Amino acid sequence: MIPVRGFDGATVAVLGLGRSGLTAARALRAGGATVLAWDDGARGREAAEAEGFETRDLTRAGAFEGVACLVTSPGIPHLYPAPHPAIAAALAAGVAVDNDIGLFFRSLGWNGEAPRVVAITGSNGKSTTSALLHHVLTQAGRRAHLAGNIGRGVLDLDPPGEGDVIVLELSSYQTELARSLTPDVAVFTNLSPDHLDRHAGLGGYFAAKRRLFAEGGPDRTVIGVDEPEGRFLAGQLQEAQGDDRVIRVSTAKLETPGWQVTARKGWLAETRKGRQVASVDLRDIPGLSGRHNHQNACCAWAAARSLGLAPREIEAGLRSYPGLPHRSQVVAERSGVRFVNDSKATNVDAAAQALAAFPAIRWICGGLQKEGGLDALAAHYGHVVKAYVIGREAGAFAVALGPGVEAEVCGDMATAVARAAAEAQAGETVLLAPAAASFDQYDNFERRGEDFAARVAALE
């Protein structure tokens, strides 16, 4: 555990007592703070009380008297569509609001050691990029830790030592609120519409992610420039053309000078000062199939190069990477049919990338539809043999797909897997890429992916 510094003898309130909240409470106590804990659910409060924390209803009048800071979990709204009553009360009382990421950065280095921190954000691919970079580092013999929005809560890490590397996956919820953001290397994978209700639109969503680059002034940035927002961000961060502190990443040819890592037609290429210095054929790497994963590989490559790894070390790590569950994960092959779990494709852009990765798809999709509609998927319907729609509103989702794809309303995963498997032909892929959130039928996308894998395993 990393003890939180700067609150010794002070009282700090913690709102939300899930994984990150309870860990933050423990780390605050380890640093000498007095913790007041609150969760809207009785189970969370009981868990805190069992560990000796005092609970206080933070929505009651006067709850923040004598409180120095409120630490909140990322899933709790703090501004849009409306702040949680406890957060509104803290702001009205003039109490600072932070999260575990902010506490981590303010506490780093108090033991005199200086680990390096790589922070990775973006709409899609940040989990794969984070896990891939961590894998590359460990395979190269570097002591690395994976935390944040993936793996362990960041304050649950053991205090890092000199030369360690901490790889953090950060969501927009985390970057928007953290009061301290000071990574050594910051990575922006891409941007597509997501979480628009929490950020009052696309501009607010981009602004939340931009804070990672604007607040702390990282030594080096890796920026995906295939969208306008990425190109704008790279332009803001560079001091002049060819500024090596900004590494541009793209799946297209770049005309800009400077340091860049691109992936075109399955080939990764690193270019510096107009000269290609390394290249890797990504097409035969099972854990990195598809254009979107090639972009992830470019981001991880650029970050690893920023940390001083040689091209041969990085390539070895890419080739041994096993992939992440629920992200283009091959769960079975039966009679020439591949079954792929991409349950993490919870938005339209991620689903479009999954559809582009395979030529003939039996597509399982549907769930809690997000804002923006499904029109962006139409460009990839040529890869879809048939769609099998799940979710409580499966009929409406099937209609929203439009006339460009044959769709069968299945309702639940068991029916969808059975129908797709029965109709699939050799050479086709049965792909779960929902293009929707899971909360209408599952607790999270992991449970949805696990159900898909279990149904596939149970096929006769």
165-216 pLDDT, tens digit per residue, is: 999 999 999 999 999 999 999 999 999 887 888 999 999 999 999 999 998 7
pTM above 0.75, yes or no: yes
Which domain-ending residue is among 289, 320, 351?
A: 320
Q: Is 124 annotated as a binding residue?
A: yes
Q: How far is CA 360 from the centre of its chain?
A: 28
Which domain-ending residue is among 52, 67, 98?
A: 98
Torsional sign, CA 321, 325, 326, 331: positive
Query: Are 377 and 420 found together in one domain?
Result: yes
d(CA 284, CA 287): 9
Contacts of 179 (CB under 8 A, 6+ apart): 96, 98, 102, 106
Q: Is 320 annotated as a binding residue?
A: no
pLDDT at res. 112:
66
Q: Is residue 7 predicted with pLDDT exceeding 90?
A: yes
3-state secondary structure of 250: strand
With b meaning 16 or more CB within 10 Å and e meaning fewer, what string describes 335-367?
A: eebbbbbbbbbbbbbbbbbbbbbbeebbbbbbb
Q: Which of 99, 149, 190, 341 is catalytic?
A: 149
Q: What is the mean pLDDT of residues 21-32?
A: 96
- CATH number for the domain harbouring residue 385: 3.90.190.20
What residue has token string 């000078």? 257
Q: Is 126 annotated as a binding residue?
A: yes
DSSP 251-278: SS---S-S-EEEEETTEEEEEETTEEEE
Domain count, the chain: 3
Tell me, yes or no, if 126 is annotated catalytic: yes
H or E element, residue 352:
helix 348-356
Domain that holds residue 43: 11-98
Tell me, yes or no, if 195 is annotated catalytic: yes
- CATH number for the domain harbouring residue 21: 3.40.50.720
Q: Is 128 annotated as a binding residue?
A: yes
Query: Are 144 and 276 found together in one domain?
Result: yes
Which burial class, exposed, middle or buried, applies to 312 when counting CB atoms under 10 A from its CB (0-12, 13-18, 19+)? exposed
**Is 347 in contact with 194 (CB distance < 8 Å)?**
yes
Query: Are 172 and 255 found together in one domain?
Result: yes
- CATH number for the domain harbouring residue 188: 3.40.1190.10
Q: What is the mean pLDDT of residues 286-314?
A: 94
Which domain-ending residue is among 71, 98, 125?
A: 98
Query: Are 149 and 257 found together in one domain?
Result: yes
Query: Are 260 and 341 found together in one domain?
Result: no
The mean pLDDT value of the chain amounts to 94
